[in-house]
Chain A
Amino acid sequence: MSLLAASNLTKRYRRGGKTVIAVDDVSFHIEPGETLALAGPSGSGKSTIARLALRLIEPDAGRIEFEGGDFLALRGATLRARRARLQMVFQDPLAAFNPRATVARALDDPLRIHGIASRGERPRRIAELLERVGLPADLASRAVHEISGGQRQRVAIARAIATKPSLIVLDEAVSALDVSVRGQILELLLDLQREQKIAYLFISHDLGVVRAVAHRIILLDAGRIAESGEARAVVDAPRSAIGKALVAAAPRLDRSIRHNAP
């Protein structure tokens, strides 16, 4: 049975009297411990799907099954309790934290809300989480806005794994980081996946990264699925027009050198 199965998801927005269909009849499923990539150009509906899967916004039509239950039927306290199993890491780690938060408070919230550790136990759990994502424990007392972007994204990952989720949505989670940090964060995510069997819904426009980390890929274009399949196969030989365009647009060192040569 799939960990998460979305069927016929549709989301429309009304903008100045015109209806824009952000997600149009999209179905997909994610297996436990699997990485499913959602790729596509800007405005193709990637982030909308991420937010639908997390129920940060509600779909106009469709079904979402999560861990064998109807996820869209959950309300109030049961929904909030369920959210422990489904976490998210945002693109901009600075915007994803309350500007007043310290690292300790950011990590304390999920532990407190889901009753994972008692008040006295939490500082130790926070130190463990920081250590797990490769950060020193004394970072806990720092304000989130004081630490570096890479450290901040590690804190965001620590917050996401605090509740022991089975699925983490990574919405362009490495896109805003510089290249050296990006590699380390991807390494950390893969380690966590192996260790805790976490599934990822990996949203990215960078097909190079997608090919390296994802098992399967869905290419989106204007809110519809253009192509899907095994990640390497799709990236190496895309069949859809949008897939070919995305692969052609990806920067490649060897080709640019050849083009610039006299």
Chain B
Amino acid sequence: MSPLRRFLRAPEAVAGAILLSALMAMALSASLLFPSDPQAIAGPALLPPFQDWSLPLGTDRLGRDVLAELFHGARTSLAVGLAAAAASLAIGAVVGTLAGFAGGLVDEVLMRITDAFQTVPGFLLALAFVSVVGPSLGAVVIAIALGTWTGPARIARAEVLSIRERDYVASARAIGMHPLEIAFREVLPNALPPVLAMSSVIVAAAILTEAALSFLGLGDPNRVTWGGMIAEGRTVLRTAPFLSIVPGMALVLTVLGVYLAGEGIVETTAVRRGLS
């Protein structure tokens, strides 16, 4: 049975995939469906949802279209989540591979740096970084990656330690391959599967961290973010709770979708590896 068929047989994986595709459709269609600036005023302030069908989810405190904000916010969440996870996996894989493959002093130094990053709470690190560098999308991505690369680094190192003793690494040395080429071409690709298995957890955590930073006002001010929308709605929580509930639901569904789809992929590939 092909991995795709096996993936489609798991209901939770399919549910995750549907949620994720919906999110991606939202992100991709945002500028088509809502071409005007989502931060522009579109109608009367604090219009409740399902009252005016030109503004289906109503408006916020300043009269901005909530649905348009939601669609544009999907872009930010997705972009930050994927970019931060990619950055974190890339840093982790490179550091872990170098540490495991080089051994000795290099290993010691790199792993002590990893320890240092791991002992500082990731969110605090992100908070400190963004408040120093200033809120922009790039800074948020780096801030999140700074707190999450240690997990992938440890897993990559453990995997590399076992791979570097294999015969094919010895034969790569015997044909005179450069150590860096051995590390990144022979060892790293074979150490990746367990590292990639972490990606869904990291994407989900990154989306939440981004929302939390925006909630605290440390997101990119020029972009609509779900965290920012929740923060905005907080001031009118008693009179217009939908302003916080709508982006909150979007966050929950997104994280759930990423997690379920990621687990589904890990499960299907694990079965395939187990069989071979």
Contact = CB atoms under 8 A, between A and B. Distances in A.
Contacts of A90: 167, 170-171
A38 to B, nearest CB: 17
B189 interface: yes
Contacts of A96: 167-168, 170-171
A99 interface: yes
22 contacts: A51-B170, A56-B170, A81-B176, A83-B174, A83-B176, A84-B176, A88-B170, A90-B171, A95-B166, A96-B168, A96-B170, A96-B171, A97-B171, A98-B172, A99-B168, A99-B190, A100-B190, A109-B175, A113-B175, A113-B176, A114-B176, A159-B171
Contacts of A222: none
Contacts of A156: 171
Interface string B154-175: 0000000000001110111111
Interface in B185-207: 186, 189-190
Interface string A219-256: 00000000000000000000000000000000000000
Interface of A: 51, 54, 56, 80-84, 86-88, 90, 92, 95-101, 109-110, 113-114, 156, 159, 163
Nearest to A80: B176
Given A81-B176, A114-B176, A156-B171, 7 more contacts: A51-B170, A80-B177, A90-B171, A92-B167, A100-B189, A100-B190, A159-B175
Contact of B168 (A51, A56, A98): A98
Contacts of A159: 171, 175
Nearest to A97: B168
B261 to A, nearest CB: 25
Closest 8 CB pairs of A and B: A83-B176, A80-B176, A95-B167, A110-B175, A96-B167, A88-B174, A98-B168, A90-B167
Interface in B91-129: none
A101 B166 CA distance: 15
A159 B176 CA distance: 12
Contact of B175 (A87, A92, A99): A87
B176 A110 contact: yes
B185 to A, nearest CB: 8
A114 B260 CA distance: 48
A109 B174 CA distance: 11
Interface of B: 166-168, 170-178, 186, 189-190
Nearest to B178: A80
A113 B178 CA distance: 9
B174 A98 contact: no
Given A98-B190, A100-B189, A100-B190, A83 B171 contact: no
A163 B177 CA distance: 13
A59 to B, nearest CB: 16
Contact of B177 (A87, A92, A99, A109): A109
Given A92-B167, A96-B167, A97-B168, A113 B186 contact: no
Contacts of B178: 80, 113
Contacts of B173: 56, 83
Contacts of A56: 170, 173-174
Contacts of B186: 98
Contact of B174 (A81, A87, A95, A99): A87
A56 B190 CA distance: 21
B168 A95 contact: yes
Nearest to A84: B176
A82 B170 CA distance: 16
Contacts of B175: 83-84, 87, 109-110, 113, 159, 163
A113 B173 CA distance: 11
Nearest to A81: B176
A163 B190 CA distance: 26
Given A100-B189, A100-B190, A88 B176 contact: no
Q: Which one of B166, B170, B177 has the highest number of Cβ atoms from chain A below 10 Å of its Cβ?
A: B170
B262 to A, nearest CB: 23
A97 B170 CA distance: 10
Contacts of B172: 98, 109
Contacts of A92: 167
A83 B176 CA distance: 6
A242 to B, nearest CB: 27
Contacts of A83: 173-176
B171 A113 contact: no
